[in-house]
Structure 1
Amino acid sequence: MRPVTRNRRSHGRAALRAMTAAIAGALLLAGCDLLPVSGGDDGASDGGSASSSATASPGGSGSDLPLAELGTSAAMDLPTDPATDPAYEAFYSQRVQWGPCEADVTADASQAVECGTVRVPLAWNDPSGQTIDLAVVRVAAGGEAKGSLFVNPGGPGASGVDFVAQNASYIFSQPMRQEFDIIGFDPRGISRSAGIECLDDAQTDEYRADTYDGSTDEGLARSVEWMKKIAAACEEHSGAVLPYLDTYSAARDMDVLRSAVGSEKLDYLGYSYGTYLGSSFADLYPERVGRFVLDGVMDPSITGDELTEGQAGGFQHAIEQFVGFCLEQQECALRGPSVEEGVEQLEALMDSIAENPIQTSDPDRPLTGALASAGLSLLLYGDENWSFGVTGLNAAANGDGTLLLMFADLGAERSDDGTYTGNALYSILAVNCLDHPGIADFAWQQKETERLLEKYPAAGITAYSQTMCDQWPVKPLRAPAEIHAPGSDLIVVIGTTGDPATPYQWAQSLDAQLDNSVLLTFEGDGHTAYGRSGGCIEAAVDAYFLQGTAPADGLTC
């Protein structure tokens, strides 16, 4: 395995914390269980107007079978530009009133943060109706600010407030922090921004720990049962918000955020799902695209089923790379000697834990198969953290699941006291079920599951995302479609060749779709590049943000 040069900012628990914010929920919907054990720690990472139906595209895992029936997004096909419509003046005339943050916003000790809120319409086609408040945070520029740089860490479901408050000094260079106000925000439905509420903490623990094989009839029935239970709880506690959590609605919100800090154009860095949010903004408001960077790209033109297959291939590769790394270490619970044999040994270890959960430092919480899979899958997002995975595997092989449980809890935003600090486990379902329709034919999903498990056996990913979303109280709202953003300023697209969650091909696809873009490539393993590539990507992106210097198209690091 080719060694990857690491950025000095990408190491240790700080790197793991930053990575976690970008991947909370990780995989798409249900049935996405690495190292085939199944359980509650499912979920994913992640244009055109919605229509009553859609057909899958012919490529990848596509079919000529129809996609699930679509509803209509309240944020699409508005008769006017809201920024110039008097009906929306109350929203566009706002300015953020920065002040002290609430106690639940934990900031890195090296940086001062300020917080505020911005009001937006719940339904974008009803500006006189119900409103919601979006939470925002600012790390003010060290010098005279040349602009405001908005950041979204992904998910969908990750808190941008927490990401920026905890990681701005770690992710961004001193020149970037000197010249930009770095701004994070929680998109609608997430955390502090009218965050949806679903299962309580004890039920969430049960959901995450439940272990079963999602490729079997019994396991699929269990998955559907959990999805029904989650959907009912979300509807009971947050039903008024659920129909308005699609990404086009969140992209409309970003235009109000732009206005609320006094920017004519939106300067933006989006990771993972944040690229989908960013490209959606560019689709709606190409003339307001400022300096725009999309890292770890989700392709807006693919179906939910093609998204699932892309991630299956990405995680198959990541597992093989991780096993190869483990076999090179002085101590590894896997014996090999080949990577193929090591993968089989890893699967056997995970199956053993699934059948007989092992003890942890918490006598009430043994490490189940689902939790072990979740803990290890978190670490596959960054090769700089694979050593933690080796240590965790070694401990688990010796009967101690404490470390893998800690990683599983970190990815799920669970605190030591048993409370969950965010709602990513559920908001990811709420957003993805609206954004990514899949093929509605159940027999096709069964055959596709068999194909995926045969082609990508280590990933253990199944094709039942639409079956899960059929239980959701709201129909999908968006058909897959290319985004061109005609007339936009330059958009910088970044792909990582060994990215498990957003395959490199998706970055190539979005770059080909956009009218004005360049593609940067990081040759390495792990999810996203900026802040962990070793300096090359960072230098090109910083020059673009700071001086407006366009990166060379095709730059490879």
Structure 2
Amino acid sequence: MDSRRLLRISATALAAAGLILSGCTGGSDAAAPVGPGSGSARPVASPSPSPEALRKYYEQKPAWRECGVSGFQCATLRAPLDYAKPDGPEVRLAVSRVRASGPGERIGSLLVNPGGPGGSAVDYLQGYAGIGYPEPVRARYDMVAVDPRGVGRSEPVDCLTGPEMDAYTQVDQTPDDTAEVNALAASFKRFAAGCRKRTGAVLPHVSTVETARDMDILRAVLGDRKLHYVGASYGTFLGATYAELFPGRVGRLVLDGAMDPSLSALDLNRDQTAGFETAFRAFAADCVTRPDCPLGTGSPEAAGEALKSFFRATDAEPVPTGEDRALGESLATTGVIAAMYDEGAWPQLREALTRAIGGEGSALLALADSYYEREPDGSYANLMFANAAVNCLDLPPAYRDPAAARRAAPSFDEASPVFGTGLAWAALNCTYWPSPATGRPHRITAEGAAPILVVGTTRDPATPYKWAEALADQLSSGTLLTYEGDGHTAYGRGSDCVDTAINTYLLEGTPPPAGKRCS
């Protein structure tokens, strides 16, 4: 939704790459037979226990208390750690809400999720959605958020210390020789081992399927017969998964910046790489018309070559930043990618590149730090840790080994001459994950669900527009709303046409007509 928060979709590796990128989210060069030819595969999940076995969770009564910003309440939701063992250990999930403000009849609860995976929904609610959503929506819905298991305040995944994460983000993502390949693989192994050691029993149980089941418990606890939901980026996959599991309980679902659940991790990563190229070309086309463009005033293609030259230069000799961390190629690339999520960041990127090309890298480093959610004291939020943990459970890894990444790199370079090589190697991280994947790529139809609104942005960097087209086509009740524009997601980003269509759907239950396009 509010892409100024740089919440992206999936993947830890460039650690970046939009979060849905980065290795964790991808397909498979090797593991199980996944890919376009296996679109009918179903997610692998534990057998569902009987409703009676889960009664204590569905009938729990959370103790709400005032918290955070004035007007917000918080509570703790209990859920089984393993749904196949509902009498076993539990997880405790952080929930927040702000009650409907009126006037008008209350519709119910509206659950929001900002994406990631790994973005704190509670922070998003209290910092934006609960006060920034359109007033007519807030008037008739209790605005609600739950930090998914493994995220934020809900049994958070932990992997590395601050200094260890600093080292991880600086490892060369475009290895030139065997030694650099080995160093990159070793960094992913250390990351995975750290997650296993520091997180423990929760690590194998943070999948999207389990989080969707948690959402249904929350729906019941809130007293709602149907789930009303707005999910952005990865949140669209979470919402679609809920619809697949509980089609009869679907209320009004908005899936903004949609993912295509039928794709393998390899295909997801490669498609997202192409999405970042599309976004960069839009930035470059604008940049070269401006006198302050640090990439020249020629063509967008020439600007891309200039950026690649800058990346190569930082690979050979990192740029000083005024602190212990110099700006090498990996951090420089992450800083540029961070600015692709919102065209409002383009002026900041022009200035940061100008300074970095001139020998002072602090501004571009600050963009990279915002992407990683690194605090001024050197600590990191839980975002990247949870991102890897969820993605590596949801799909088999993109590659069996580094040799597979090397073979895939040319196709990534074709998808993005600017970012391709780095994002190809970033997809190696789930190769070493300690918990086997429990999901598989598959089409989601959600037969029997009420109308679901899917939203796609034509030049979205992190969730390419064709993913929204694919998800809307898969869903038996899906309707596609198109935003012809730049940036990640569409709702609340300045298009009255988009906002009116979504607000009407949330308030009246009527989706826009098929083929509706906004600019």
Q: Which runs of 5+ in 2 are unaligned?
A: 26-30
Q: 1:365 to 1:190 in 2, by over 3 A?
A: same
**Aligned equivalents of 1:188 and 1:465: distance in 2?**
24
CA contact (8 A) 1:522 1:533 kept: no
Normalized against structure 1, the TM-score is what? 0.85
Q: 1:266 to 1:143 in 2, by over 3 A?
A: same
1:203 aligned onto 2:164: yes
For residue 211 of structure 1, give the secondary structure of its aligned residue in structure 2.
Answer: coil
1:529 aligned onto 2:490: yes
**Aligned equivalents of 1:27 and 1:400: distance in 2?**
30
1:152 aligned onto 2:113: yes
**Aligned equivalents of 2:57 and 2:16: distance in 1?**
42
Q: 1:353 to 1:185 in 2, by over 3 A?
A: same
Deviation readout 1:521-540 (Å, 9 max, x if unpaired): 00111111111141111101
1:127 aligned onto 2:86: yes
Q: What's the CA shift for 1:127?
A: 0.7
Please, which of 384, 402, 405 is the counterpart of residue 362 of structure 2?
A: 402
Please, which of 74, 79, 89 is the counterpart of residue 55 of structure 2?
A: 89
Q: 1:502 to 1:140 in 2, by over 3 A?
A: same
Moved more, 251-260 or 431-440: 431-440
**Aligned equivalents of 1:153 and 1:121: distance in 2?**
24
Provide the residue aligned with 2:430 in structure 1.
469
CA contact (8 A) 1:45 1:155 kept: no
Please, which of 52, 73, 85 is the counterpart of residue 45 of structure 2?
A: 73
CA contact (8 A) 2:22 2:427 kept: no
Q: 1:158 to 1:138 in 2, by over 3 A?
A: same
Q: 1:221 to 1:533 in 2, by over 3 A?
A: farther
Q: 1:374 to 1:31 in 2, by over 3 A?
A: closer
| Paired AA for residue 390 in structure 2 | V
Q: What's the CA shift for 1:446?
A: 2.9
CA contact (8 A) 2:10 2:116 kept: no
**Aligned equivalents of 1:488 and 1:16: distance in 2?**
29
Provide the residue aligned with 1:55 in structure 2.
33
Normalized against structure 2, the TM-score is what? 0.91
Correspondence 1:131-146 to 2 at 5 A: 131-143=90-102, 145-146=106-107
**Aligned equivalents of 1:237 and 1:290: distance in 2?**
38
Q: Aligned pair count?
A: 507
Q: What's the CA shift for 1:543?
A: 0.8
**Aligned equivalents of 1:472 and 1:441: distance in 2?**
11
**Aligned equivalents of 2:379 and 2:270: distance in 1?**
33
**Aligned equivalents of 2:416 and 2:505: distance in 1?**
38
Provide the residue aligned with 1:425 in structure 2.
384
Moved more, 230-239 or 267-276: 230-239
1:380 aligned onto 2:352: no
| Paired AA for residue 86 in structure 1 | E
**Aligned equivalents of 2:159 and 2:259: distance in 1?**
26
Deviation readout 1:370-407 (Å, 9 max, x if unpaired): 22211221110111221111121122222222222222
CA contact (8 A) 1:133 1:193 kept: yes
Please, which of 317, 334, 337 is the counterpart of residue 278 of structure 2?
A: 317
1:293 aligned onto 2:254: yes
1:363 aligned onto 2:323: yes
For residue 521 of structure 1, give the secondary structure of its aligned residue in structure 2.
Answer: strand
**Aligned equivalents of 1:296 and 1:152: distance in 2?**
12
Q: What's the CA shift for 1:140?
A: 2.4
Q: 1:332 to 1:190 in 2, by over 3 A?
A: same
Provide the residue aligned with 2:201 in structure 1.
240
**Aligned equivalents of 2:206 and 2:326: distance in 1?**
35
Correspondence 1:256-335 to 2 at 5 A: 256-335=217-296
Provide the residue aligned with 1:3 in structure 2.
none
**Aligned equivalents of 2:95 and 2:332: distance in 1?**
34
Deviation readout 1:15-72 (Å, 9 max, x if unpaired): 5643x2x21xx553446777xxxxx9984797xxxxxx7423347xx99xxx9xx995
CA contact (8 A) 1:45 1:273 kept: no
Deviation readout 1:346-368 (Å, 9 max, x if unpaired): 111222233322233x4223323
- Aligned residues with identical type, % of pairs: 37
Please, which of 519, 525, 540 is the counterpart of residue 501 of structure 2?
A: 540
Correspondence 1:463-502 to 2 at 5 A: 463=424, 467-502=428-463
For residue 33 of structure 2, give the secondary structure of its aligned residue in structure 1.
Answer: coil
Provide the residue aligned with 1:5 in structure 2.
none
**Aligned equivalents of 2:383 and 2:176: distance in 1?**
24
**Aligned equivalents of 1:542 and 1:455: distance in 2?**
36
**Aligned equivalents of 1:217 and 1:128: distance in 2?**
49
| Paired AA for residue 45 in structure 2 | S
Provide the residue aligned with 1:446 in structure 2.
406
CA contact (8 A) 1:45 1:154 kept: no
| Paired AA for residue 241 in structure 2 | S
CA contact (8 A) 1:138 1:183 kept: yes
**Aligned equivalents of 2:80 and 2:260: distance in 1?**
27
| Paired AA for residue 147 in structure 2 | D
Q: 1:233 to 1:384 in 2, by over 3 A?
A: same
Q: What's the CA shift for 1:210?
A: 2.9
Moved more, 469-478 or 440-449: 440-449
CA contact (8 A) 2:20 2:269 kept: no
For residue 66 of structure 2, give the secondary structure of its aligned residue in structure 1.
Answer: coil
1:178 aligned onto 2:139: yes
Q: 1:445 to 1:172 in 2, by over 3 A?
A: same
**Aligned equivalents of 1:78 and 1:204: distance in 2?**
37
Provide the residue aligned with 1:413 in structure 2.
373
| Paired AA for residue 312 in structure 1 | T
For residue 530 of structure 1, give the secondary structure of its aligned residue in structure 2.
Answer: coil
Provide the residue aligned with 2:28 in structure 1.
none
| Paired AA for residue 143 in structure 1 | G
Aligned-residue RMSD, C-alpha: 2.6
Q: What's the CA shift for 1:501?
A: 1.0
For residue 292 of structure 1, give the secondary structure of its aligned residue in structure 2.
Answer: strand
**Aligned equivalents of 1:140 and 1:147: distance in 2?**
10
Deviation readout 1:218-257 (Å, 9 max, x if unpaired): 4332221111101111111112111111111111000011
Moved more, 491-500 or 316-325: 316-325
For residue 182 of structure 2, give the secondary structure of its aligned residue in structure 1.
Answer: helix
Q: What's the CA shift for 1:441?
A: 5.3
**Aligned equivalents of 2:426 and 2:320: distance in 1?**
32
**Aligned equivalents of 2:179 and 2:16: distance in 1?**
15
For residue 345 of structure 2, give the secondary structure of its aligned residue in structure 1.
Answer: helix
